Copies of this chain bind each other. A is one copy, B any other.
Amino acid sequence: MTVGTGMSIVTCDIAVSLDGFAAGPHPTRELPFGDVVGTGEVLHSWMFDHHADDHRQEIAAILDAGAYVMGRGMFSPDTGPWDLDWTGWWGDEPPYRAPVLVLTHHERAPLTLGETTFHFVTGGLEDAMARARHAAGDRPVSVAGGAGLVNQCLRAGVIDELRLHVVPAVLDVPGATRLFDGVGRHDLEAVGARWTPEVTHLTYRRRAD
């Protein structure tokens, strides 16, 4: 095992509306980003289709991680025990191509889809982060969302670099989780911003203690 600079950094990318929503209130198997009309398209179309070329560097940064930590809601809208017949929204070739640690209360054997293996972690955030750091080695660990997991990570102080992808819409979704709700006070370092018509990319780092 190569040991380089020590612990890898923890990054977090999340696409949000101007008012901090990353999804509607009730994602379903058919509508991963919630039942607000167009929520998913408004938040994520910059990553797909012809827009993706304009955001190549940000997409590459997201996919540069050596492991990912993901909230269960990013993998499945179902609650309770797993329905093993349904393998999530990510299709046969999820983009991660690295271990993805999915936080859940329900045990499940690892699931490999294409070059990505989802591991289901029931030991809480600390356990998931430890396993992600181990898997990532010197490469970044990425917190993949959703907003609830990002808030949990902010409260726990584990995010080194927060990359917000802010779309020019106010969604105002009652009942959905809003980024930064209840995370406490954080003074960050503004590292940079890149404006595009579809999304403004804002990068923040945790200030040195």
Contact = CB atoms under 8 A, between A and B. Distances in A.
Interface of A: 18-20, 36, 42, 154, 164, 166, 168-172, 179-190, 192-200, 202, 204
A168 B200 CA distance: 15
A186 B47 CA distance: 21
Contact of A182 (B18, B172, B186): B172
B200 A186 contact: no
A187 B169 contact: yes
| Copy total for this chain | 2
Contacts of A187: 42, 168-169
A172 B168 contact: no
Contacts of A195: 190, 192-193
A119 B160 CA distance: 48
Contact of A186 (B20, B169, B188, B190): B169
Contacts of A179: 19
Contact of A190 (B19, B171, B183, B200): B200
Contacts of A193: 193-195, 200
Contacts of A192: 195
Contact of A172 (B184, B197, B204): B184
